[in-house]
Structure 1
């Protein structure tokens, strides 16, 4: 019994050490990835939306974004609503993401699937104006090149069939969102927040080396990236 406890304690210490190193070691280590060009006088911006276990990326809607993600409208997501200001993208465990719309619906099966190996899905939602500051939303300015690289990364995350990205019929949290089949396998070590971090690096931001948790991702983003130029009290559409 004592031997098992010692092994467990070592595993816990290793995980904690990995979290610390993953948070405070910057990635990229020597400089920005593609998309990290100097920010223009009128920069693009993106938002990172956070809940206790998951992060999403919100992209401002404009004509070019609507054209690029036109398949969303074809699959019932009303991207052209006048009130819509952002497309919100998230990647995650198929079993957990679809099976847990609210915390009250948490079940053991989806949790176990997420901690082992599961298929992945993309979740897409709409958002209106989002006021700042608030603790669950962070705004980052990016260059045009970074914005384009981010969109390319998001687009490549969708599984494509003969007719384009493959929606999952009849599955949604509400009237303005939907799920799509995604590329990649999900597990607890390479999950939704590591996907968000990879996407943000494509946009030219620096993250920690390994950020499986929202809190460590947000710490690293705050450490290594300049604050947004947004004025307090609101987000420019």
Structure 2
């Protein structure tokens, strides 16, 4: 028993050190010639205790670019919609756990092992700018375009169109879509968000499995 406790404590220490290093070591290690923050486009990093999303301003160009989401219930031209909110995650956990009260063992097990992935898309109004969980990030036009391409390539497509998941959603404004890549807890939703931000020119931590470590690294290096 003592040996088992020792191994458990050693594992916890290793995870803590890895997460600290993942937050404090920047990626890329040296700042690129094109700074990630600056004039161009404003996006928002949205965070809750376990998950992050990216909010993109709904300009006319963005409404046109993501018009293929409309057939799945994303009313991208709704006059009250100011932001397109996109996040990536594990299929089982995302679809089957809309609230913590509905948490079940099977989705947790899949999240800790390997699961298929989905993209969650929602709309938000202008009040999002003042939400305490929203962090404003200004990126260059070139970085903004790279991030959009990264997001677009995360959708599984059939004949060029995104593949929606029928009957999946939390409210009247959102939808789920099949996504590329496999999900697990070590390389999950927050590492996808970090990758999208790096495409925009934003430096993140080396490894950010939690929203708190991602937010810390974004604050430290941008």
TM-score between both structures, scaled by the size of structure 1: 0.90
Residue 170, structure 1, aligned to residue 167, structure 2: yes
- Distance in 1, matches of 2:90 and 2:179, equals 10
Distance 2:202 2:36 in 1: 10
- Segments of 5+ residues of structure 2 without an aligned counterpart are none
Shift of 1:66: 1.3
Distance 1:123 1:146 in 2: 22
C-alpha distance in 1, partners of 2:44/2:211? 14
Deviations 1:49-91 (A, max 9, x none): 1111000000000111112111111222111000000000000
The question of whether the paired residues in 1 share the 8 Å contact of 2:37 and 2:201 is answered with no
Q: Is the 8 A contact 1:95 1:118 kept in 2?
A: yes
- Which one is further off, 21-30 or 161-170? 161-170
Instruction: Give unpaired runs (5+ residues) of structure 1.
Output: 226-237
Residue 9 of structure 1 corresponds to 9
Paired residues in the alignment total 222
- Aligned position for 1:99: 96
**Aligned residue number for residue 230 of structure 1:** none
How far 1:134 sits from its partner (Å)? 4.1
CA distance in 2 between partners of 1:51 and 1:24 (Å): 21
Q: 2: CA distance between counterparts of 1:187 and 1:134?
A: 29
Q: Distance in 1 between matches of 2:159 and 2:148?
A: 21
**2:208 is the counterpart of 1:211:** yes
Q: Which moved more, 1:71-80 or 1:197-206?
A: 71-80
Higher helix share: 2
CA deviation string 1:109-162 (max 9, x = no partner): 111111110000000000001255543110000111111111111101001122
Partner in structure 1 of residue 110 of structure 2:
113
**Residue 61 of structure 1 pairs with residue 58 of structure 2:** yes
Change in Cα spacing, 1:100 to 1:80, as seen in structure 2 (3 Å) is same
User: How many angstroms does 1:6 deviate by?
Assistant: 1.2
